[in-house]
Amino acid sequence: MKNKERRPGGKPPAGTTARADRAQGGKPGGKPAKAKPAGANYDRPPRRDDQKSRPAKLSAPSYNARDAQVETVATEPVRPLMLRSGERPAERVPLILESSGAGDFHLIDSGDGLKLEQYGPYRIVRPEAQALWPRALPAHVWDNATAIFTGDTDEDGMGRWRFPSEALGETWPLSLLGVDFLGRFTAFRHVGVFPEQIAHWAWMKSQIEQAGRPLKVLNLFGYTGVASLVAAAAGAEVTHVDASKKAIGWARENQSLSRLDKAPIRWICEDAMKFILREERRGNQYDIILTDPPKFGRGPNGEVWHLFEHLPLMLDICRELLSPKAHGLVLTAYSIRASFYSIHELMRETMRGKRGLVESGELVIREAGLDGKTPGRALSTSLFSRWVPK
């Protein structure tokens, strides 16, 4: 799912996805590994409006089809983008969703294009282009980090980890919102979780626990499964979709670590767009949908995913997959040269006639100091837009 994908422009090499970092065999663990194929999802009789439709520029991209054992499916027909009518939902902008940390994570300090984070017992330094200000803590604190990522400063670029004191294993245990999982040093700087999304996960957890009935959750581009496990632990029936076989394997391992082996989770290793097109035809619906697509991706057969071209259709299909008593549709976008208003207006157009509220803005993480309790500056990480029924 962070592409989180915030990254500069520049088309990644064929076969990779803006969030390639998420896929590695370890990115699921950050295995210093091979890049995740385009769009890797790490790291959706249908209802239709009686409106005119216009053709979509999509050839059902397979942004991640990796080396996974994916069920063979015929080429999906192009599905037109519905032109919606009716009033647009109410809006709430800008909304800044802030996380100061949770469980084993908090942001210690940031500045000079870097961030210093605490992940369980490890203090990690990684590049962060958004950190334009000077560091607040002295150099010796940064110099004593457990692991430092070095290499390509482009978030899509590969690099390596340096361990100043002692060599560390590829993985280590972590916990967030009551869910246990593995952190992993990947070749693309990520560690298997995007903590800024704690705000979305906490919202989802609350919705599930207060629903009074089992909710059905669809997690597209689910990556290592932390969000899916948070949902399942709260009592939801979860469908997790990611085109990376390695990401799915990592997610299953996290499921065991969280002692949720018997939880109702479907792990689907498949191209997300192909999956949701089929779900729409089957008439399947969900109460909460999370989608965290990459900026750019190229599939194994030359299919191309481009956020600006294909996102409208993806959201349109997701709308059709929402149940009559749905609780929300959440979109997170990383590494794109756009204002949150771009995805905000797209979400409002997509949800015309659906009533409810569209709230959009940015996800930020607040510095918490060495003790995890001293508020500092807020670091912007991504854009988001969320439709809720009221």
- Name the least confident of 125-134, 170-179, 290-299, 360-369: 290-299
Which tens digit of pLDDT belongs to each residue from 281-298? 999 999 999 999 988 765
Q: What percent of the chain has pLDDT over 70?
A: 76
C-alpha dist (Å) from residue 345 to 89, 105, 308, 359: 10, 33, 13, 10
Does 17 score more than 60 pLDDT? Answer: no
Which tens digit of pLDDT belongs to each residue from 331-372? 999 866 789 999 999 999 999 999 999 999 999 999 999 999
Q: Which residues pair with 383 in a beta bridge?
A: 333, 362
With contact defined as beta carbons under 8 Å apart, do 368 and 107 qualify? yes
Which tens digit of pLDDT belongs to each residue from 302-325? 556 788 888 999 999 999 999 999
Look up the pTM and report it.
0.80
Q: Would you place residue 159 in the very low, low, confident or very high pLDDT band (cuts 50, 70, 90)?
A: confident
With contact defined as beta carbons under 8 Å apart, do 16 and 299 qualify? no
The count of other CB atoms within 10 Å of the CB of residue 15 is 17
How many angstroms separate the CA atoms of 334 and 226, rounded? 18
pLDDT at 73: 40
Most confident of 40-49, 130-139, 289-298: 130-139
Does 188 score more than 90 pLDDT? Answer: no
Does 13 score more than 70 pLDDT? Answer: no
In this structure, what token pair is assigned to residue 145? 């980090």
